Amino acid sequence: MKGKVLIVDDDVNAQIIAETLLQTLGWQVRSVSDGTEAIDALRRDPANVVVMELALPGMNGWELIRHLRGRFQPLPLSLQPRILVVSAESDPATEAFALRLGADAYLKKPVVPAQFVKQVEDLLSLQHVSSPPAASLTA
């Protein structure tokens, strides 16, 4: 197994495409539909990389980035889950803001599969660990 990836997107088709692509290449992948589900999933089973959309029902992507960075802040950056935003929003200011909030990378939809895979691989290589972060997300 290459690593664990959590997909956070309310578009089931986007979930299936990302899951299939990454699972075929050896990643352990699971998907959820919103930010609250993502936090619950990460509490149960941490991931190396979180691939997320910004426009989510309930807790949106902006709030999820803030939450994840706040929860994992005590850990060295190399042990924090990496965050990849994949969004249809193409405004450079949106991308810059997501990166300032704590996203590690930003891809604009539609995404080329090879580019997506390379970005996930690059983010996993930043962790320099073979297992996901062990920090608890509990309050």
- Cα–Cα dist 36/23, whole Å: 24
pLDDT tier at 72, thresholds 50, 70, 90: confident
What mean pLDDT comes out for the span 26-43?
95
- Cα–Cα dist 132/139, whole Å: 19
Beta bridge partners of 52: 8, 85
Q: Which pTM value belongs to this model? A: 0.87
**What's the fold here for domain 4-127?**
Rossmann fold (3.40.50)
Residue partners of 35: CB distance under 8 A and separation at least 6 = 8, 56, 58, 59, 60, 61, 63, 64, 67
- Cα–Cα dist 63/39, whole Å: 11
Q: What is the pLDDT of residues 93-119, one digit of tens each?
A: 999 999 999 999 999 999 999 999 999
Structure tokens at 15: 């979930």
Q: Does 37 have pLDDT greater than 50?
A: yes
pLDDT tier at 30, thresholds 50, 70, 90: very high
